[in-house]
Structure 1
Amino acid sequence: MESTETPTVLTVDSLLDHVQAGPARLGRTRLIGIDGPAGSGKTTLATRFAARAEARGLRCQVLHMDDLYDGWDGAVRGFGLLRDHVLQRMADGREGRYRRYDWGLNAYAELHVVPTTLDLLIVEGVTSCDRDAAGWQSLRIWVETSNDVRLGRGIERDGEALRDRWLDWMRWERDHFAGQRTRDRAHVIVDGNPAVEHAPETELVTKSVHFDHDSAAS
């Protein structure tokens, strides 16, 4: 696929074709990372990728970074858990393991296992495409939309009482993404609130597609 600089509709299946055509980099599993600012639409996109993957008979699992953060200040620690207890273990031929963080109880809860027999692992959430994961990833996706849309979605989901938390998070993630160059290193940049007509369950609207940078340093 060539680089594009204008909104372009792509099918989810075309991106899965690209992933399957390349080598597995996480043991026998292919890894997709979906990153971008909070409220941009990452979880929705991950669900659609998983549905299309399962429709073609792939063994697929979605891991949400929100399940690894130990609260609002836990994104970097959450990525460390992903890297050390899921990705590195799978690269070594062992099942990934993590405990889901219960935001209501403010404590880690039940154990989850990520088997080495997966065809596809989709990790979505802020920090999912941090540099240390790049060598294992077959596809890095960045999802974005305006700050107003993102904040509106967050307040609708979490309530007005958490507005200040959201604003603090938005400032933090902006600086984190700049340091990681997360957007620049993405293979695909997706519009999380597109005006272009498309079929949301099977298609996405991209702003840019680049498959010529596959290293953590790029």
Structure 2
Amino acid sequence: MDGLAATLRALPPSCGPVRLIAVDGHAGSGKTTFAARLSGTLGGAPVLHLDDLASHETFFGWVPRLTEQVLRPLSQGRTARYTPYDWHRARFPPEPESAASLPPAPVVLVEGVGAGRRALRPHLACLLWMDMAAEDSWHRGRLRDGPVLAEFWDTWTHAEMTHFAEDSSYSFANFVVRRGELGYEVRKGPAGGR
């Protein structure tokens, strides 16, 4: 992790003063856990969870919100402010009630399915892909969420397959990350390490 963190810090900024790093992969592949670990190794780099921008109505329709509320301010060196989606109430709460902020730190992580999608790639300094087969990832996610969300997972897996069929980010990954018994293994991805 220390070597990866050093590599990411050395990259040129990609979104204003920010080095925007995407952590992409299938749902259940460990993106959130890995991003938290990487954030700690980077000294507390801010993390944006794409689940905060998605919704029940549109799993992958968050690009306009991301562009307006996050990318535009960060590219101008300003703190981004956005309202995280409430998955339990199935709505975006009123903004003042639960607005979140994302400072224009030297490194900002964006984690979630689709973090390396076509619309974001021009703003990324680096794309990391969590190396786990879709079926294994989804099985882990279903175990994590339990039978209460089984119907959600049925809908989600179809949407995710459709998304990656139309906009595959794996082939653009600079690094591929696999969780091993001794921690994370990082190797060059299809697009090559930077």
C-alpha RMSD of the superposition? 2.1
Residue in structure 2 matching 1:41, options 21, 30, 49: 30
Label 1:136 to 1:42 Cα distance change in 2 as closer, same or farther (>3 A): same
Three-state SS of the structure 2 residue aligned to 1:75 is coil
Contact 1:75 1:127 in 2 (8 A): no
Contact 2:26 2:138 in 1 (8 A): no
More strand by share: 1
Note if 1:53 corresponds to 2:42. Answer: yes
Q: Aligned equivalents of 1:107 and 1:41: distance in 2?
A: 25
Q: Which amino acid aligns with 2:174?
A: H
Q: Aligned equivalents of 2:163 and 2:188: distance in 1?
A: 21
Residue deviations 1:149-189 (CA, integer Å, cap 9, x gap): 32332222222132232132122212211221211011112
Q: Which amino acid aligns with 1:113?
A: S
Residue in structure 2 matching 1:80, options 57, 64, 72: 64
Residue deviations 1:129-165 (CA, integer Å, cap 9, x gap): 1112112211101113234432332222222132232
Contact 2:59 2:159 in 1 (8 A): no
Note if 1:115 corresponds to 2:99. Answer: no
Q: Which amino acid aligns with 1:142?
A: W
Gaps of 5+ in 1: 1-11
- Aligned counterpart, 2:176: 189
- The percent identity for this pair of structures is 30
Alignment length (residue pairs): 190
Gaps of 5+ in 2: none
Contact 1:79 1:128 in 2 (8 A): no
- Aligned counterpart, 1:173: 160
- Aligned counterpart, 1:209: 189
The 5 Å alignment of 1:125-204 reads 125-192=112-179, 194=180, 197-198=181-182, 200=183, 204=184
